[in-house]
């Protein structure tokens, strides 16, 4: 109750005239009103007690700020750190993943890599096939090096399934040599046949074959 209200009530309760019991009653009423007005409210304390008793044993509810935001369809929008990583679908992605797995584990299963390369080639995934053949061959896998040599060799090059877009005498010679060094039984024969064909072309005046023959001497 504010001061103005007290004053109004005092004015309303003030007797108009005369003395006696009416005046005494009016004084009692005024004293009571002043006492009520002067006593400070204790609503906060009472409220606190009521809340503590009514919420005892009830677990805290999460704040709306703690909940993840939702998309238009109602699904929660995950924080960036929890979003699934995008899938790499670029050419050679599967080969790179397998090679990375082999390197991280330190277990170089080159026969497995060679088989994966052959499967990728048969499926038309030539970028994957080339990376897998190349990796295994550089790691000393003779059959992989031989496969690269055969796919580059003009005598056996197949544009529809070769990892090389065009036949390449130099690439064929290089990979036949690597295959032979790593013990591929057929590599020496393929290498000898390739040299004979290049020398024949060089003798016939082919300028490129002549340059290659000079490099191989």
Best-predicted range by mean pLDDT (6-15, 28-37, 56-65, 94-103): 94-103
Using the predicted structure, report yes or no on whether residue 37 has a pLDDT greater than 80.
no
- The answer to whether the beta carbons of residues 153 and 190 sit under 8 Å apart is yes
pLDDT at 25: 58
Residue 89 has pLDDT above 50, yes or no: yes
CB-CB neighbours of 174 under 10 Å: 16
d(CA 183, CA 212): 25
Report the C-alpha gap between 50 and 44 in whole angstroms: 10
Tell me the backbone φ, ψ of residue 67, rounded to 5 degrees.
-80, 145
Task: Name the least confident of 9-18, 73-82, 132-141, 163-172.
Answer: 9-18
Q: Is 93 exposed, middle or buried (0-12, 13-18, 19+ CB in 10 A)?
A: middle
Q: What is the 3-state secondary structure (H, E, C) of the chain?
A: CCHHHHHHHHHHHCCCCCCCHHHHHHHHHHHHHHHHHHCCCCHHHHHHHHHHHHCCCCCCCCCHHHCCCECCCCCECCCHHHCCCCCCCCCCHHHHHHHHHHHHHCCCCHHHHHHHHHHHHHCCCHHHHHHHHHHHHHCCCHHHHHHHHHHHCCCCCCCCCCCCCCCCHHHHHHHHHHHHHCCCCCHHHHHHHHHHHHHHHHHCCCHHHHHHHHHHC
Higher pLDDT, 13 or 92: 92
Write the pLDDT tens digit of every residue in 110-143.
999 999 999 999 999 999 999 999 999 999 999 9
Give me the mean pLDDT over the 23-36 stretch. Answer: 54
């Amino acid at each position: 109750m504010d001061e103005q209200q007290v004053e109004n009530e005092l004015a309303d309760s003030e007797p108009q005239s005369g003395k006696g019991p009416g005046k005494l009653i009016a004084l009692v009423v005024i004293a009571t009103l002043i006492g009520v007005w002067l006593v400070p409210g204790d609503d906060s304390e009472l409220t606190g007690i009521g809340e503590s008793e009514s919420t005892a044993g009830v677990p805290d509810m999460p704040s709306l700020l703690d909940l993840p935001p939702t998309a238009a369809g109602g699904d929660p929008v995950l924080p960036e750190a929890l979003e699934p990583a995008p899938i790499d679908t670029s050419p050679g992605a599967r080969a790179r993943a397998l090679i990375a797995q082999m390197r991280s584990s330190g277990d170089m299963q080159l026969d497995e890599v060679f088989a994966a390369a052959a499967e990728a080639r048969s499926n038309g995934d030539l970028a994957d096939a080339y990376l897998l053949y190349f990796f295994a061959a550089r790691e000393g896998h003779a059959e992989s090096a031989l496969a690269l040599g055969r796919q580059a060799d003009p005598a056996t090059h197949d544009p529809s399934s070769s990892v090389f877009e065009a036949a390449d005498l130099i690439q064929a010679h290089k990979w036949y040599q690597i295959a032979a060094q790593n013990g591929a039984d057929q590599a020496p024969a393929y290498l000898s046949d390739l040299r004979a064909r290049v020398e024949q072309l060089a003798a016939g005046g082919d300028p490129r074959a002549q340059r290659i023959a000079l490099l191989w001497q």
